Structure 1
Amino acid sequence: MENVVWTGSWVAERLGVELVGDEKLSELLGLALRRNPKRAHLLVSNVLGKHVPQSPRTVWQSGYELGHRVRELLGEAGASRSVVLGYAETATGLGHSVADGLGLAPYLHSTRRPVDGVERAGGFEESHSHATSHLLLPEEPGLLAGDGALVLVDDEFSTGNTVLNTIRALHERYPREHYVIVALVDMRSPADQGRLDAFALEIGARVDLVAAASGTVRLPDGVLEKGQALVAEHESAAEQLPGPTGLAGLSERGTVARVELGWPQDLPDGGRHGFTPEHRICLEGALPAMAARLADALPDDARRVLVLGFEELMYAPLRLGVALEELTDAEVRYSTTTRSPVLAVDDPGYAIRSRLVFPAHDKPDDGPGERYAYNVAGGGFDAVVAVVDSVADTPELHAQDGLLARLAAHTPSVLLAVVPSYTPSYAPAPTPSYASNPTPSYAPTPQLSERSAMLPEPLRGPDFSSYAPDEVGWLLQDLSDVTLEAPTEEREEAIQSGGAHYAESLPVEYQPSDRYQELFRAALDTSAARIAQAAGAVTETVLAERSPRPVLVSLARAGTPIGILMRRWAKHRHGLDLPHYAVSIVRGRGIDANALRWLAAHHDPADVVFVDGWTGKGAITRELAQAIEEFESSDGITGFDPEIAVLADPGSCVRTYGTREDFLIPSACLNSTVSGLISRTVLRADLVGEHDFHGAKFYRELAGADVSVDFLDAISDRFDEVGDAVDTLVKELLSMDRSPTWEGWAAVERISEEYGIHDVNLVKPGVGETTRVLLRRVPWKILARAEAGADLNHVRLLADQRGVPVEEVAELPYTCVGLIHPQYTRGATGADGKAVTG
């Protein structure tokens, strides 16, 4: 591809976007389109070293010169007392280069990678970004507490929201008198020009801005929708072309070799935990020898070489590139991989000419996801030096579709250089690299891998369920074409007589009346914030106590909407893209063992967190614990934690919950139409073989009545509203004794005996379980706590429609309890002499 200065005409002509500014602006920026629902265009920097391969010295010098300008602004004394803060992922290298220009300033950059054992000094959100949550994890807690200026570095300053929100949050905790904002380009609109002065007055501090160029982007009306349509059109066309980016790969794959850098011991790989002037001196002394090792490993005929960094790891490969550029006659270029999805168009007037797509390799437990390298394919590179840290040196990096293989399809020689991931001495050591430990910290046994290979990949929407494909993967088999429904009375008689198990058939799907649907929507409107708070609390508890990168596994189907809400919370609050699956568990039959085998082959069982909607008396809690114990004994696979995380735990059966109140969770009001149009799970010998997942049906024909996504959106729209309440609640939960008391089980046993039932399986406590009784079973009577209120409006309506008496009870540990009579047959009478009806 040819090098051009301005690479924005393609977007400008099609969308009417205008880049207006001083004469240097067009030298620094191009335009592209991104897959982002918040902002269609992407300003592509020619000197940042992220998307466009550029001379390493040019990239480093751009930041260094900005740092020198800040030093002139602060004076030598002020510069020596300042601290530089860069933004992940795009500005980590830029911020470090600015710190170089300041001279003696320590450097810290935000990160999206949680690190065990390192306390957060702060965090913030980047509203327009593809991945929003940033963490501040300095090794020395006092790094941000000095009295000198705080210098905040980002690649562009547009609305100013991200930087100003950061300053506001840090100023509350570490107040200071002076802040300096540094950006390659100042792209504020006229409406935003006056915000800095007003903000400075608000916090009572001086705020300066230093930028290499300034201007603005003029966006016509409807540009977001037009941009999204343009992206969809060209991505669809690109899928029809050969190669991963629409460019044909080389006929012969290049070689991949590892280069040992000799990185100094205890030298941080970047500014994730802080980088001091002493660290800078150590790096400067080691760079010539490390660059020499790279130069010796390059092919003799290499004339164009790319040093490719990795996401947040920008500075170490940048400085290696600068040193290599000084040492060799080859043309050296530098760029890095990224999480940001951008449209690639092979046109001279477009900034992103090609795109390599590969699986995330940051951590084995990072979950599914794509990463990208832009303008590498078709770049004419004779060799690529890929620089990653040791935490990212994983099997995914070396896989057949991994980054190294993608690079080898487009260049004759790929060199891998691994920088040791730095962790503060008081924190647990990071996972050993793939080189020193070819088997990752968790690796399935060959027997397990072979067995799991017989199992299909998870089912996903829209082919199975009305949920988006990234919201949940169903470890089930599709039985949509099998007739499994039976009248409720026939099912109840067969179940109680021992002629059939409840999981061998399905109840006929209840179709709610207009009045009942109105009750559902009223209940959702009333309880959405309450559920959002509980969803946030249980998610934060899981992240704090179970795993920083949990694999959510919902118990289908009641747990599935809750699992999706937890996944949404983790993404909204922390930028985590958590894997989420739904599996079947059947009372009396256990959890789907094949689903456990699939999970163990693809994830560390220790990271799996089972999720359900609520607890009743705790039958499923006990069922799961017993099933996991039996599975470990039979398969020899250990590590699964049987403790369920639930939204509500009125039965006091688990430690991980969002609330222990028994209130209406509206997803209990309906069946498949609030659960992605999926039936309850089915386990029948003639349908589920030895190597099959349990089954379920997808009721596509009920799409017109589906409220599954409406339910989720109504709750997740309240996340911001309940954020402070969640923080307060979680602090309380983490400090209290949450040991299960099993009060619910004791209450059920008492009710069972008191009402002459003598079978706890026919006592269904709690609003959710009572609703299920009325929708799926043949109830005898409903016990309701006196003055229960609106939480039971839908229960009373269903009971009235089915002719089931509701008995108010003064002393009841649950809001309500549904009773199924143990002697049910058609026309039988109950203990009170009344007919047991459907």
Structure 2
Amino acid sequence: MLQELSQKTIIDLATGRLELVTAEDVDLDAYCDFAARANPKRGFLIVSKVLGRHLPARPAAMREAMDAMAARIATDLPGPVAFLGMAETATALGQGVFAAWQARNPAREAVYLQSSRQRARGAEVIARFEEGHSHATSHLVQIADPAIRKLAASARSLVIVDDECSTGKTFVAAAEALVGAMPLVERIETVCITDWSDRGYLDAMPRPSAARAIVEGRMDWTAAAVQPAVPELAAASNAPGAAPASGMASRTGLLASEAATRAPVRAAPGERVLVLGEGEHSYEALRVAEEIERYGGIAAVQCITRSPALLGGAMASRSTFADSYGSGAPCFLYNMLGHAPDRVLVVTEVAAGQQTETEAALAALGSAVPVEVVLCHYAAEG
């Protein structure tokens, strides 16, 4: 159990009241904001400021959070070590934590896996699990390369990366599914930006486990007596999409963090550029933002996402997009003008109608800044 939690934060949302308790020295505002979810399963959303999804995040702040999480992982985990990044919100975060951990442990044997809501053709599904409160509950863990499958099966430690933990039930579900495919796992660590579970789920984990987070605390949620008109989730919200044949390798297993084959990007000194990832394809958006800043541009990262939220709180605006992966699920982009961009880049692994949709979304918000699409391809590992 956590000790010395004395700082209380109360957030009133249209759907209810959220009470958070943290240590007195925690600067909660540096890491998160809050919003009401358009989801009858759970009425609140912890909105990270360093994730690069719902709010614009500077690339340096994202990398700092990733390194801070990697630094908290135990140094004595038995190897090989398997990492799992959780779809869709923590896919860039998971790969970034994996990269930071490898930089700290260059001699350790490790593999990176990622849960997904897109089916990768020709890959083996080694595990499935459910995220009960989510807009999209079903997760697939897939591996394409037999050598990576062999390494994953020999893993003795498992590190699960997510952006936020409320109850820990999803961590338990993921761990139970993965130890079935990794029978030699002896220890598990969960790592996130904010953890409100009070570590209460650890006893339910299938192996001895530890919880790591930048911000830890407790949470109490009280739903409003009179709820706003929260829409039912769209019928396609949990539908799987199809990963492109040249799509990111992280969806089917990596031995090192990946980089896309794509056109180079440029920026003028001082130019403000918003870089948009798309769904699970978000790590390359961070890399593009870093490239822009090397030219002197001022970059921020966000992501088109399936996550449904209500306007208000952290959500100043909401734009609607089609799912490029063909599932039919509704997708959204929040706070599109929060970075005050001079230009928008959409970083995608699927050529679809992103430019037209982004231009229309900007026009609806009263902006006519130029939009470019950066199409990414990935070579299979090995």
| TM-score interval, smaller chain | 0.7 to 0.9
Matched residue, 1:336: 303
Of 415, 427, 445 in structure 1, the residue corresponding to residue 372 of structure 2 is 415
Name the structure where helix makes up a greater proportion of residues.
Answer: 1
Of 269, 287, 298 in structure 1, the residue corresponding to residue 248 of structure 2 is 269
TM-score, structure 2 as length reference: 0.82
1:10-25 equivalences in 2 (<5 Å)? 11=12, 15-22=16-23, 23-25=26-28
Matched residue, 2:237: none
1:106-117 equivalences in 2 (<5 Å)? 106-117=111-122
- 2:164 is equivalent to residue 164 of structure 1: no
Q: Structure 1 residues 322 and 408, CA, compared in 2 at 3 Å: closer, same or farther?
A: farther
Deviation at 1:44, TM superposition (A): 0.5
Aligned with 1:272: secondary structure?
A: helix
Distance in structure 1 (CA, Å) of the matches to 2:174 and 2:15: 35
Deviation at 1:81, TM superposition (A): 2.3
Q: Unaligned 5+ residue runs, structure 2?
A: 1-8, 232-244
Deviation at 1:405, TM superposition (A): 3.4
Distance in structure 1 (CA, Å) of the matches to 2:152 and 2:125: 12
Distance in structure 2 (CA, Å) of the matches to 1:14 and 1:276: 43
Q: Structure 1 residues 212 and 407, CA, compared in 2 at 3 Å: closer, same or farther?
A: same
Residues 549-587 of structure 1 show CA distances to partners (whole Å, capped at 9, x for unaligned) of xxxxxxxxxxxxxxxxxxxxxxxxxxxxxxxxxxxxxxx
Counterpart residue identity of residue 123, structure 1: R
Deviation at 1:64, TM superposition (A): 2.1
Matched residue, 1:147: 155
- 2:42 is equivalent to residue 74 of structure 1: no
Contact 1:270/1:313, CA 8 A, preserved across alignment: no
Aligned with 2:178: secondary structure?
A: helix
Distance in structure 2 (CA, Å) of the matches to 1:112 and 1:408: 30
Residues 706-748 of structure 1 show CA distances to partners (whole Å, capped at 9, x for unaligned) of xxxxxxxxxxxxxxxxxxxxxxxxxxxxxxxxxxxxxxxxxxx
Contact 1:355/1:377, CA 8 A, preserved across alignment: no
Residues 784-822 of structure 1 show CA distances to partners (whole Å, capped at 9, x for unaligned) of xxxxxxxxxxxxxxxxxxxxxxxxxxxxxxxxxxxxxxx
Matched residue, 1:675: none
Contact 2:14/2:228, CA 8 A, preserved across alignment: no
Matched residue, 1:131: 136
Q: Structure 1 residues 314 and 14, CA, compared in 2 at 3 Å: closer, same or farther?
A: closer
Distance in structure 1 (CA, Å) of the matches to 2:14 and 2:321: 31
1:682-831 equivalences in 2 (<5 Å)? none
Contact 1:30/1:43, CA 8 A, preserved across alignment: yes
Matched residue, 2:320: 357
Q: Structure 1 residues 80 and 403, CA, compared in 2 at 3 Å: closer, same or farther?
A: farther
Q: Unaligned 5+ residue runs, structure 1?
A: 1-7, 233-265, 426-838
Name the structure where strand makes up a greater proportion of residues.
Answer: 2
Q: Structure 1 residues 154 and 106, CA, compared in 2 at 3 Å: closer, same or farther?
A: same
1:282-297 equivalences in 2 (<5 Å)? 283=259, 293-295=264-266
Deviation at 1:353, TM superposition (A): 1.0
Residues 142-178 of structure 1 show CA distances to partners (whole Å, capped at 9, x for unaligned) of 2421233111011112211111111112223322111
For CA contacts below 8 A with separation 6 or more, give which structure has more relative contact order. 2
- 2:192 is equivalent to residue 186 of structure 1: no
Deviation at 1:211, TM superposition (A): 0.5
Q: Structure 1 residues 14 and 41, CA, compared in 2 at 3 Å: closer, same or farther?
A: closer
- RMSD over equivalenced CA pairs, Å: 2.8
Larger Rg: 1
Residues 350-376 of structure 1 show CA distances to partners (whole Å, capped at 9, x for unaligned) of 21111111222223xx33x42111111
Contact 1:354/1:378, CA 8 A, preserved across alignment: no
Matched residue, 1:208: 210
Matched residue, 1:101: 100
Counterpart residue identity of residue 334, structure 2: Y
Q: Structure 1 residues 294 and 135, CA, compared in 2 at 3 Å: closer, same or farther?
A: same
1:248-259 equivalences in 2 (<5 Å)? none
Contact 2:347/2:374, CA 8 A, preserved across alignment: yes
Distance in structure 1 (CA, Å) of the matches to 2:220 and 2:275: 35
Distance in structure 2 (CA, Å) of the matches to 1:9 and 1:219: 10
Same amino acid, percent of matched pairs: 31
Deviation at 1:417, TM superposition (A): 0.2
Q: Structure 1 residues 169 and 336, CA, compared in 2 at 3 Å: closer, same or farther?
A: same
